Structure 1
């Protein structure tokens, strides 16, 4: 997530992710890989499961995609 996100949003997102069973960053990466590295599906998943808005979901998907492009 961007360094400009508010603490309130981070708390809200973390809470929603934990309710979905995601407590570690590598688990979020696992979801992305399970979705066959499809950014569109991942954005929908993160919006539905973490309460992210469209912009935040895109930032998250872009970050994970960049990580995968560089390291996988």
Structure 2
């Protein structure tokens, strides 16, 4: 049984707008800073990468690990968050 955090529920429960990177489940300050250094400064930009990878969860998780140094758990949580958000809003 998987559980979600309040952060996850808040993110997937409403439009993205201008949410910060750290609003994404699995992304905290350190990973957020690493992504900003890669040119991704908003959650919608990370969503864009997810969409460019055709919503392929495995490919996106690998990209996130490479881009930010996320571990497998962090990448999986972020991927699930973006997948659920895109299923609800796209």
TM-score by length of 2: 0.68
Query: After the TM superposition, which residues 12-23 of structure 1 pair with which residues of structure 2 at under 5 Å, given as runs?
Result: 12-23=30-41
Indicate yes or no: 2:75 matched with 1:57: yes
Superposed CA deviations along residues 13-37 of structure 1, whole A, max 9, x for unmatched, are: 1121011100001000000000000
Greater fraction of residues in helix: 1
State the 1:50 CA deviation.
1.1
State the 1:51 CA deviation.
1.2
Number of matched pairs:
66
Indicate yes or no: 2:49 matched with 1:31: yes
Stretches of 4+ moved more than 4 A in 1? none
Query: In structure 2, what is the equivalent of residue 10 of structure 1?
Result: 28
5+ residue gaps in structure 1?
4-8
Supply the RMSD in Å over aligned alpha carbons.
1.5
5+ residue gaps in structure 2?
8-26
